[in-house]
Structures are given as C-alpha cells and as structure tokens.
Amino acid sequence: MPTSWLLFIASLPTTGATARMRLWRAIKALGCASLRDGAYLLPDTPAHATALDYLAARTNDEGGTGCVVNVAPRSADTEAAFRALFDRSADYAALATQLLAAKRALAGQDAADVAKTVRRLRKDLEAVRRIDFFPGHAADDIQSAWSDFEDAANAVLSPGEPHAEQRPIAPLDRQRYQGRTWATRRRLGVDRVASAWLIRRFIDADARFLWLASPADCPPDALGFDFDGAAFTHVGDKVTFEVLLASFGLEDERGLAQLARLIHVLDVGGAAAPEAAGFEAILSGARARLPDDDDFLREIGTVLDSLHTHYGKESPQ
C-alpha cells in the first residue's frame, strides 16, 4: 500500500554552525532519511508533521529557509525506494553484535556493572525501534537476541528469579485461602513486595509471611510465591503479581490492572509507565533504609495503596 510522505526542505546560513548542528541532531533523532543535502523524508504521521513544522519554524527563526511539503510517489518503484531508505537492518546488526559481546562479558562483571550495561543497551534498542517505521525480520531477530541477553543478565542480577511456567492459570476460590502462611524469598524485589501487598490487601487479610533464605526452606504447608516450583509464580508472560490477579479473579479491577502494568515493567521490562522511574527510586531508597522485609512491606504497602487509589480513579470527563 502506498505511503504518504513528508519532505522537509531546509537551508541555514553557512555562518550558523551551532544552529546547523542543532538542526542536524533533531533530524537524526526523528529518523529522517536524507534524499540530498537539505532534503529529508519521513512517513506522513501527525506526530512527524508536528515535529517537522516545528523544525521549519526554528530554521526560519535562525535566518534560514525551512518548509514542509507532502510528497506522493508516482510509481511503486519510487515507493519501494523511499521505504528502503528507512531499512534499519544495519542498526539492528550493530546492536546484535553489542548484545553478543555484552553477554560474553557478563561473567566478569558485578551486579552494578551488569545493570548499567542493561540500561545502556535497552536505551540503544529503544532508540532504533523508535525510528523503525517499517519493521521486518531484523526487528524480530533483535528481539530474540535481546531476550537471550536479558535472560543472561537477569541470571547475574537476580539469580533466584523464577523461570516462567507454561500452563493455564486455574481460577481459585479466595475463601479457601484465608489465614494461610505465604512464603517467598527474602530481600523483597518489586514483584515479591507487590505480591505480598496484594495477598494481604485483597486475597488473605490474615496472611502470615515467611521470608526465605532459599526456596528450599519453604515449609510444605506454606503457599510459596515468586520462585521456581512455588504455588504462584511466573506463567507465560505474566509476573507473579499478574498470576495472582488472574488466579483470584482480580484482573478487571481498574486500579489493580493499572498497577499490574507498572509491576510488570519494573520486574521484566516493557514500555515504561510514567510513574515507573519514580516508583523504582522509592523502592531503591526504601530498600537501602529498611533491611527488614516486614518494615519494607509496610512502607511500600502505603505507596501501593496510594498508587492503587490513583489508578482506580475515574478519568475526568
């Protein structure tokens, strides 16, 4: 199907080196393809049109000439040539090489270095995805390479993290799960602390918790969560918090559904919610201040209560 295109035509005075560099960086960040010097192409979308109109206005303000025009290819060959300008295969190949090298270097790094590498490479991956307007096989291949690297990195960062099971999630009766002992690994992470909060707040108000040095220490009569072999753990693409929601029929509760998206992103990654960075900072600070898991749960529980209330509010009309 033919694509509608936007062409940004710009020229700046040769004396305006700073303005020229600023314009070039903005064009690159948008993912424009260069037809020639001063002529830049993008697929026609409202966001692209707004961005290019802004660049045209800035160019004119800097004493240059900038305009945005619509372009329609007159043949299928021209359309194909335009699309080929946006082939990101080389970018993905370079990133795949970086991922492979980073994966091989994991064994010699401490957790802080690994976390820094993961953040850097995730940022690089997202930067390419953002300007990959016509994703193809290369996009699928890099996702596989990223998953392999992320699994290896998580094995270093969180050696006790569960591996996802592949099974259906059976509906359960909450009344049969009252006054129980629930157990998970100590030094609670985001999925474990959120799951403990969910259990006490919505599933078993009288729940008692055991914080385990090792999953092997879980008593046979306790309900384990968020470790391999536990009664409640990762299933498919769902983290433990989401599995608990599905198990006890809580998925349709507005506030919990929104909260689940936040927990998922912080535990296993994904498109970040606006609140993710702030909540992650609160978790990190509270964890550093409160080595006792009961104290940590109480403090983070109040934050989760507030987020749940915020998410549960009706959108303003």
Q: For residue 303, is pLDDT > 90?
A: yes
Tokens of 247: 């198990």
pLDDT grade for 163, boundaries at 50, 70 and 90: confident
Q: For residue 317, is pLDDT > 60?
A: no
Instruction: Look over the chain and give the mean of its residue pLDDT values, rounded to a whole number.
Output: 91
What CATH number does domain 5-84 carry, 3.30.410, 3.30.460, 3.30.70, 3.30.450?
3.30.70
How wide is the angle at C-alpha 258 spanned by C-alphas 133 and 173, nearest 5°?
A: 130
Mean pLDDT of all residues in 129-138: 93
Q: For residue 314, is pLDDT > 70?
A: no
pLDDT grade for 159, boundaries at 50, 70 and 90: low
Highest mean pLDDT pick, 6-15, 70-79, 160-169: 70-79
Q: How many residues does the chain have?
A: 317
User: What does the pLDDT read at residue 274?
Assistant: 82
Helix (H) / strand (E) element for 35: namely strand 33-36
pLDDT grade for 108, boundaries at 50, 70 and 90: confident
User: What does the pLDDT read at residue 150?
Assistant: 83
User: What does the pLDDT read at residue 13?
Assistant: 82
- Asked if 231 and 225 count as a contact pair (C-beta separation under 8 A), the reply is yes
- At 146, the amino acid letter reads W
User: What does the pLDDT read at residue 152?
Assistant: 81
> Distance of alpha carbon 36 from its chain centroid, rounded?
36
Is the pTM here over 0.85, yes or no?
no
pLDDT grade for 1, boundaries at 50, 70 and 90: low
Q: Mutual orientation of helices 254-268 and 276-289 as an angle, nearest 10°? A: 70
Domain boundaries, the chain: 5-84, 89-157, 174-312
